[in-house]
Structures are given as structure tokens and as C-alpha cells.
Amino acid sequence: MVVCILLQSTILNRVAIRGVRPDLALIVLIFVSMRRGPMVGQVSGFATGFLEDMMNVSPLGFHSLLRTVIGYVYGLLSGNVFIDPFLMPIVLTVIATILKGILAGIVSAVFGLAASGFITFTGRLWIEVGYNGVIAPFLFALLNLFKMFKQADKEGA
Amino acid sequence: MPGLFEGFFARHRKGATLAVLVLVSFVCLMISSRTLVIRPKEIGLSAAGFFQKGFSGFFAWFGDTVGSIGQLQAAREELAAARERLQEMDQATREVLELRRQNEALRQQLDFAQTLAPERIPAEVIARDTDNLFSTITINKGSRQGVKKGMPVVAWQGDIEGLVGKVVLVGPGTSEVLPLYDPQCMVSARVDSTRDEGLVLGEGKDRGTLVMNYVKKIAKNKITYGDLVVTSGLGGLYPKGINVGRIRDITAPTYQTSLVLRVEPIIDFDRLEYLFLIGPEPDNPAPAVGQQAPPAAPVAK
């Protein structure tokens, strides 16, 4: 997730659509939460969100709150949802991105924050929803592959 | 009693962890945003307002989409006119460039002193905000290189210099720049041709459009599409005469006493690579209270 955050702030700017980049860290968080449950999901979400807050101009606690809640909610689904290689990653990611937008809007309204992305129901959010949805199946497949490699290593050892 | 707590946490480990993490985030947010909101009515209003804005935004988008189909024919006619105008502008731009070259040559011949130009710190864009929710730009210069909070930032694209934004956060080796299109960024500006003043601010949702408010309605007939908007120098943050953008749309709402101008930024923010941070003018110290400030030196182009 740390690597994803670094990628998002640097290389992914080159593939941004109208300034909107895919949120790889969110997709990885969904994957991890769905595999490892709410505890790992919320702690991972908090840690990566906190790191993001440290790197950005966003107020400390903003991303950590968003990602903690998303990690926990998706962790609760762990073991209860069958994840096929294509459709479910898209559905889960689309819902998570919309949830992130709604949570960001609520937090910014409550704390009186003003930033460009907070105009939630506008093009930027929907571009991100689409972008994340398109990338999700590939990233899920990649992460599954990574897990398979780890298992193979164990067996080999 | 401790056993009771231990038992509770053992039973509700996940929920308790969530509560702790959310609480930590909330406390951090309260401290860092400095907007401690504990009044329930205001929270309710804010939350309701958020959903109202959401619905309003969605239906406005829907209405615009439907309406835009009808506007297609008008847009075609405008396009033909715009192409004609573009050719004229191209010719004018070539003439301006030629005049600029002549001007530079004459300056060199006259040995014109340009020492009044403020110090400029070159910087490179190394990253942008990790999330799409905020819109800052990270540069590779910080306090060690003399960067200070509030410094104006400009960039060159093609042959034109334009305003990018201002420095909002300074670290030892990197800094964060708030771009013009962010809603928090406000610039005191004027229409270059008519000298009418206003306030340019970002809309956030579209980095290709800025809004200029508080321009008097009587200026409507004088201002034309394509007019250049430059910084006015008022407020002291941005030097006078930096290009901000060109007017793309002029509206005069009946419920307002001023015009609303849509301004297309000079800078294409997606292509930003190198920037210049403008320091204070060396021979022009801040005036004492009550003392008239001398006019700012024009930005070297």
C-alpha cells in the first residue's frame, strides 16, 4: 500500500484523466481487508491513511479516518463474499470509491474543510469510480499471483 | 475492575480497535483542522447541506447534459466564428512575440538595469497529492533553499509566463504548492485591457476553469472573450502583472451586482514540470504601517 501511495503521487500522474488518478491503495486495502478480516483491514487502513496525511496537505486524521472505516467495513465481508476474478473486484471497488467520496464529503462538511475533490457528486468522483473499477480486476489478479508465489515459496522450502 | 475491562476488550476486540482508531483520527482532525465542531445543530446543518449539495449537483449535471444537446447547433456556429477569431489571434500573437524580441534587443542595447526583479527560485515538480481529494503539488525545494510559506509560484509554458499558485507548506527539502484551481486559492486580479478589478478563485471540480468575481456590471460591454486577466498586486501576496488566464465566458446574474467571468488558466496544470518561486523584491522592503508602498516592478518576461 505504501508503494501504491508513492506511485499515485508520482508516476500515475502521467495516466491521469482530467487530473484524476486511480486509487491503487484503496484497491489493495479492499483486497487485504477481504482476505484478512476487519482487524487487519482497519489497522492497515489507519496506517496507510496516516502516512498519506503525513505526505499531503490534508489535515492529519482525514485519510486515516476514511481508510479505517473502509478497511473495517470490507473486513466484515471477509469470508462472506465469493470473489470471482472479474465482476466482484469491480463491484467492491466501485462501492468503496463511492463510499470514500461520501465519507470525505461528510468529514469535510463537519470539519469545515475545503478542497477541490470535496465537490463529491461531480465528474471527478465518477472518473475515479470508473478508473478504479477498470483497474481493480487486474490488480486483484496481480495480488492473487503474489500470494500464489508466496505459497509456492513455502512449499518449496 | 481491570478484569472487567480486559474481558470487555477480549470480547469486542475488533470493535474496540475501530473505536480507538476512529477516535485518534477525529482528535487529529480536530487539532490539525482547527475547526472543533461540537455543536450538534451545526453538524446537522453541515451534514444535511452536504447531501443537499450532492442532489443539487447531480440534478444540475443532468439538466446541463440534456440542455447541452440543444446547444450543439449554437456551438457549431460559435465554433466557426471562434476559428476565424483564432486566426486573427495567431497573427496578433506572432506580432507580440516579434515586438517582445525587439524589446529585449533594445533593452540589451540600452543596458537596461533589471536588478529590481525579485529573486526567483527554480523548482521541479516531483509529486502531486496522493489522493484526488486534495490538489497540491510537491516541489523539490524547501526551507533549506530559501522557500517560505506564501511565496507566489509561476511557470513558463511556450512563450508565456503564468501564475501557478502559492506555497502553503514548507519542509526542509520539499514544499507543497496550492494550485490556482483549488477553491482555497484566491488571487486579486484585473482584466488587463479594461483594468477592472476582481477576485479570481478556483472551482476545484474543473482545473481548466477559474471564476472571477466582483467585477462591476458596467464593465460588461468593455470586456470581451479572450481578454487577459493578470494579477493586480493588491493584497501584497502576488506581484503585479502576472498572467492568470483568459476570459472564456461572461455572465451577469440578475441577483448579483457584479459580473461572473469564467477564466481559462494560462497554465496547463497537467503539463507542469518546472516552476519558479518568486521571492520578495530585494530593493523594495515592506513599507511601514501608514506608508504608501511604491508600485511593484513588472515581472520580467
| Cα distance between residue B150 and residue B280, in whole Å | 11
- Inter-axis angle of helices B40-70 and A87-111, to 10 degrees? 120
Q: Which of B55, B59, B132 to mutate to test the interface with A (most CBs of A within 10 A)?
A: B132
Q: What's the residue count for chain B?
A: 301
Task: Look up residue B232 and give its three cell numbers.
Answer: 493586480
**B118 contact partners, CB below 8 Å, separation of at least 6:** B239, B278, B279, B280, B281, B282, B297
- Residues in a beta bridge with B161: B156
| Cα distance between residue A117 and residue A16, in whole Å | 14
Q: Is the ipTM of this complex over 0.85?
A: no
pLDDT tens-digit readout, B127-164 = 887 777 778 888 888 888 888 889 999 998 878 889 99
| CA-based nearest distance B60→chain A, Å | 10
* pLDDT at position A93: 94
A 3-22 near B (Cβ less than 8 A):
5, 8-10, 13, 16, 18-21
DSSP states along B167-212: EEEE-SS-EEEEETTSTT-EEEEEETTT--EEEEEE-SS-TT-EEE
Residue in A42, A52, A115 closest to B21 by CB: A42
Kind of pairing between the strands at B210-216 and B197-202 = antiparallel
Q: Is the per-residue pLDDT at B226 higher than 60?
A: yes
| Cα distance between residue B3 and residue A73, in whole Å | 29
**pLDDT mean over B219-227:** 86
3-state DSSP helix/strand/coil % of chain A, to nearest 5: 80, 0, 20
User: Least CA distance to B14: which residue of chain A?
Assistant: A39
CB B276 within 8 A of CB B151: no
Which of the residues in chain A have pLDDT under 70? Answer: 114-122, 147-157
CB A68 within 8 A of CB B20: no
Backbone φ and ψ for B154, nearest 5 degrees, come out as: -125, 170
B203: pLDDT confidence band, cut at 50, 70 and 90? Answer: confident
B 112-151 near A (Cβ less than 8 A):
126-136, 138
- HSE value, Cβ hemisphere, 13 Å, CA-based, for A59: 25
Identity of residue A137: P
pLDDT tens-digit readout, B45-61 = 555 556 655 666 676 77
Q: Is the per-residue pLDDT at B273 higher than 80?
A: yes
pLDDT greater at residue B81 or residue A114? B81
pLDDT greater at residue B39 or residue B69? B69
Identify how many contiguous H helices and E strands chain B contains and give both numbers. Answer: 4, 12
How does DSSP classify residue B219? G
CB B177 within 8 A of CB A57: no
B 165-184 near A (Cβ less than 8 A):
168-169, 176, 178, 181-184
Most confident of A42-46, B7-11, B69-73, B297-301: A42-46
Q: Judge if pTM exceeds 0.95.
A: no
**pLDDT mean over B15-40:** 76
* pLDDT at position A119: 55
What separation in angstroms does the CA of B256 have from each of B80, B193, B217, B251? 32, 23, 9, 10
| Cα distance between residue A22 and residue A41, in whole Å | 20
Residue B82's CB: how many other CB atoms inside 10 A? Answer: 14
B246's enclosing H/E stretch is: strand B243-251
CB A98 within 8 A of CB A122: no
| Cα distance between residue A73 and residue A64, in whole Å | 14
CB B221 within 8 A of CB B194: no
Is B133 in contact with A119 (Cβ distance < 8 A)?
A: no
Indicate if the alpha-carbon torsion angle B195, B201, B206, B207 is positive or negative.
positive
| CA-based nearest distance A83→chain B, Å | 23
Please give the share of chain B, as a percent, with pLDDT higher than 90.
12
Task: Look up residue A149 and give its three cell numbers.
Answer: 508465489
**SS3 category, B164:** strand
B178 contacts in chain A (CB < 8 Å): 57
| Cα distance between residue A65 and residue B190, in whole Å | 41
How does DSSP classify residue B232? -
The torsion of the CA quartet B43, B46, B48, B54, rounded to 10 degrees, works out to -150
B 37-66 near A (Cβ less than 8 A):
37, 43, 46-47, 49-50, 53-55, 57-58, 61
